[in-house]
Amino acid sequence: MLISREMVLDKDIGLNAALFGGDMMARMDKVAGIAASLMSRNRRFLTVKVSELLFHSPVRAGEIIEFHIAIARQGNTSLTLQIEVQVYEPVSDQRRDVTSGAFVMVAVDETLHPESILWKPEMIQAATEAHRVRRASQTGQS
Ligand SMILES: CC(C)(COP(=O)(O)OP(=O)(O)OC[C@H]1O[C@@H](n2cnc3c(N)ncnc32)[C@H](O)[C@@H]1OP(=O)(O)O)[C@@H](O)C(=O)NCCC(=O)NCCS
The pLDDT tens digits for 22-72 are: 999 999 999 999 999 999 999 999 999 999 999 999 999 999 999 999 999
d(CA 100, CA 8) in angstroms, rounded, equals 17
Residue 141 — pLDDT band, cuts 50, 70, 90? Answer: low
Of 126, 63, 55, give the one whose Cα is nearest residue 90: 63
Ligand 1 pocket test, pick from 28, 30, 106 with the greatest ligand atom count within 8 Å of Cβ, gives: 106
Indicate the CATH number for domain 2-139. 3.10.129.10
Q: Could you tell me the sign of the dihedral formed by the alpha carbons of 64, 33, 79, 49, in that order?
A: positive
SS3 23: helix
What is the whole-number distance in angstroms between the Cα of residue 78 and the centre of ligand 1? 7
Whether 107 and 84 have beta carbons less than 8 Å apart is answered as no
- Alpha carbon distances (Å) from 104 to 15, 17, 129: 29, 31, 21
Q: Is the pLDDT of residue 104 over 80?
A: yes
What is the whole-number distance in angstroms between the Cα of residue 101 and the centre of ligand 1? 17
d(CA 46, CA 102) in angstroms, rounded, equals 14
Cα-only R_g, the chain: 16
Q: Is the pLDDT of residue 142 over 80?
A: no
Q: How many CA atoms lie within 13 A of 23 on its CB side?
A: 17
49 lines ligand 1 (CB under 6 A): yes
